[in-house]
Structure 1
Amino acid sequence: MSDARTQEPVTPPGGDGLLRVRLDLAYDGAGFSGWAAQPGRRTVEGELTDALARVLRDPAVRLVVAGRTDAGVSARGQVVHLDVDPAAWAALPGRAVGRPGAPSPGDALVRRLAGMLPGDVVVRRAGLAPTGFDARFGALRRRYAYRVVDDPRAVDPLRRGEVHVVRRALDVAVMDRAAGALLGEHDWLPFCRPREGASTVRTLLRHGWRRDDGGVLVADVEADAFCHHMVRALVGAALAVGEGRRDEGWPARVLAAGVRDPAVALAPARGLVLEEVVYPPAEQLAAQARRARTFRGPAAGPGRQGAAGGGRVEA
């Protein structure tokens, strides 16, 4: 396939160019060195790209993901897009093409990937994306959950890889109040590992703590986008408050200070799950992608100049 796959917008279904395909997937991050392909390391992108290359017979498959998660971080609602030759897409049902009850190309792709991917990666849906769709820049918001157990009786041995276990009892009410004080658009540099030239301004839409029916503490964290390590830093700060090592107002003071604070510890990757990525209606996709590419500053690094804030999603 040609370099036309990087051009936008992609030709809509029925045109002469490439077709943009959306994949919805889930994965257990425990066995991966994160999403992004890395030489010599097992990654989600690497496994999925290899499987797609075999199914589509295209060694140049290129994926665009809603958010690159780090090592150990899982996802239930990850989204990617790729651009596919129309002939390769139409051929996916194989000999069943044209027969009554034949699967759609998307359904055929899901079934064929299921036979090639390892058990810790599942593609749930595949289909043609609306014109203007961009898995990364088209997203309105991302929602994460972080799960913590502070009572040994609440540990489920069948799900022990999904939660972070702490030894001290946590005050979920004070954690929830401390988290709620951080809502809104801010420069999240105190809670991020910044990348040179990238903005650290984000809008935190939801941040709260609750205890579910099984006694597990759950942090619900939602934003338009996240900078690197932002969710794990927010959880780490909340745990310090919940254990009584810091007072309720401490996370807000850290944020207001505007500088990295070494006292903010990252919570372990275990326990963090990308639950959902939300997109606008089809007619608003292109406009949303343009907005997400617009610089929101300030940016990290000398001169604090950088690109859009809609980029990397947390781990």
Structure 2
Amino acid sequence: MSDEAEDGFVRVRLDLSYDGSEFSGWAKQAGGRRTVQGEIEDALRTVTRSHGTGYELTVAGRTDAGVHARGQVAHVDLPAELWAEHREKLLKRLAGRLSKDVRVWSLTEAPAGFNARFSAVWRRYAYRVTDNAGGVDPLLRNHVLWHDWPLDVDAMNQAAAGLVGEHDFAAYCKKREGATTIRTLQELSLVRGDDGIITATVRADAFCHNMVRSLIGALLFVGDGHRGPEWPGKVLAAGVRDSAVHVVRPHGLTLEEVGYPADELLAARSKEARNKRTLPGVPACDTC
């Protein structure tokens, strides 16, 4: 996965959003399941009349089935001649070809060193939940989780504060062979809006699988009084999955924004992000 397009190709940045309700996640899958990546790549081939050619998207955050995105970022390397021919009309043609639950908002020639995944310095997600006794507004049912216990937002914020920083989040991640679970959680905070919906903002340099939904699951257990505010931090310190930490349903989760450094720092950030991370004082381990 190079940080530069090959000779004769142009790297194009896509800014996009989608309602994940009817998608089996971002990444293409075998068996014909509908995915965001598959749908955009198919549309791209169709509108550029490139049937039989594979243009593969690289994305900032691979969202799971049912998860939404408002500020997703991807890149694709296109032949320079094709880009020159189609660039002025490509956005509108994609709008006419794509399903209404996925939109590409901009297509721009990426600066040198840009990689949608590895150049990112943070991803910001929002998880929305309501404890309204009557349930969720029907118009928001695909984007807000209903929790049928009253929630103490102050207690949840107290618990969240103990999770911010660089830690090994193994207790909140689905382990993947050869992948580190060390992440820097830059922000975890919750606010109840005037409509009663509680929005959790979760921002980190990167996330491991199920991390956001597991963190929210732990905080909900604090919010409804089943655990004290110190409990999520104890789970984190233990470093192993706790059966009491539930992975909440995906539909309340939205990728809101992806942050990148200044253009001149893109390549360096991409190189840094590829390095296997360890915590201070802990030696690197290729098999950990």
Please state which band the TM-score falls in when normalised by the shorter chain.
over 0.9
Instruction: Name structure 2 gaps, 5 residues minimum.
Output: none
Residue 7 and residue 169 in structure 1: after superposition, are their counterparts in 2 closer, same or farther (change >3 A)?
closer
- Asked whether 1:22 is paired with 2:13, we answer yes
- Residue number in structure 1 paired with 2:206: 225
- Residue number in structure 1 paired with 2:26: 35
**Structure 2: distance between partners of 1:244 and 1:230:** 22
Count of matched residue positions in the alignment of Structure 1 and Structure 2: 281
- Asked whether 1:61 is paired with 2:52, we answer no
After TM superposition, the runs of 4+ consecutive aligned structure 1 residues lying more than 3 A away are 152-155
- Residue number in structure 2 paired with 1:86: 80
**Structure 2: distance between partners of 1:125 and 1:152:** 41
TM-score by length of 2: 0.94
For 1:44, the aligned partner's letter is V
Residue 17 and residue 8 in structure 1: after superposition, are their counterparts in 2 closer, same or farther (change >3 A)?
farther
Cα deviation code 1:159-187 (max 9, x no counterpart): 22110011111001100110111110000
SS of aligned partner of 1:177: helix
For 1:50, the aligned partner's letter is D
Please state how far the C-alpha of 1:267 moved relative to its aligned partner.
0.8
For 1:116, the aligned partner's letter is R
- Residue number in structure 2 paired with 1:96: none
**Structure 2: distance between partners of 1:7 and 1:185:** 27
Please state how far the C-alpha of 1:17 moved relative to its aligned partner.
2.1
Instruction: Name structure 1 gaps, 5 residues minimum.
Output: 1-5, 93-104, 308-315
Please state how far the C-alpha of 1:10 moved relative to its aligned partner.
2.2
For 2:16, the aligned partner's letter is L
The equivalent position to 1:9 in structure 2, one of 4, 13, 32, is: 4
Q: Please say if residues 154 and 215 of structure 1, whose CA atoms lie closer than 8 Å, have aligned partners that are also in contact.
A: no
**Structure 1: distance between partners of 2:199 and 2:83:** 40
Q: Please say if residues 16 and 73 of structure 2, whose CA atoms lie closer than 8 Å, have aligned partners that are also in contact.
A: yes
- Residue number in structure 1 paired with 2:271: 290
For 1:56, the aligned partner's letter is T
- Residue number in structure 2 paired with 1:52: 44
- Larger CA deviation: 55-64 vs 170-179: 55-64
**Structure 2: distance between partners of 1:181 and 1:127:** 40
**Structure 1: distance between partners of 2:192 and 2:161:** 16
Residue 134 and residue 8 in structure 1: after superposition, are their counterparts in 2 closer, same or farther (change >3 A)?
closer
**Structure 2: distance between partners of 1:139 and 1:154:** 37
Residue 8 and residue 141 in structure 1: after superposition, are their counterparts in 2 closer, same or farther (change >3 A)?
closer
Q: Please say if residues 154 and 214 of structure 1, whose CA atoms lie closer than 8 Å, have aligned partners that are also in contact.
A: no
**Structure 1: distance between partners of 2:95 and 2:133:** 36
- Asked whether 1:280 is paired with 2:261, we answer yes
The equivalent position to 2:126 in structure 1, one of 125, 145, 169, is: 145
TM-score by length of 1: 0.86
**Structure 2: distance between partners of 1:56 and 1:65:** 21
**Structure 1: distance between partners of 2:287 and 2:250:** 27
**Structure 2: distance between partners of 1:295 and 1:161:** 36
**Structure 1: distance between partners of 2:157 and 2:76:** 39
**Structure 2: distance between partners of 1:306 and 1:230:** 21
**Structure 2: distance between partners of 1:221 and 1:23:** 23
Please state how far the C-alpha of 1:154 moved relative to its aligned partner.
7.4
Please state how far the C-alpha of 1:304 moved relative to its aligned partner.
5.0
**Structure 1: distance between partners of 2:2 and 2:209:** 27
- Residue number in structure 2 paired with 1:100: none
- Asked whether 1:270 is paired with 2:251, we answer yes
**Structure 1: distance between partners of 2:242 and 2:198:** 25
Cα deviation code 1:85-118 (max 9, x no counterpart): 11101111xxxxxxxxxxxx2x522111011110
% same residue: 53
Cα deviation code 1:186-209 (max 9, x no counterpart): 000000001100010000000011
SS of aligned partner of 1:256: helix
SS of aligned partner of 1:169: coil
**Structure 2: distance between partners of 1:84 and 1:230:** 33
SS of aligned partner of 1:161: coil
SS of aligned partner of 1:239: helix
Please state how far the C-alpha of 1:157 moved relative to its aligned partner.
2.1
**Structure 2: distance between partners of 1:272 and 1:304:** 33
**Structure 2: distance between partners of 1:78 and 1:19:** 20
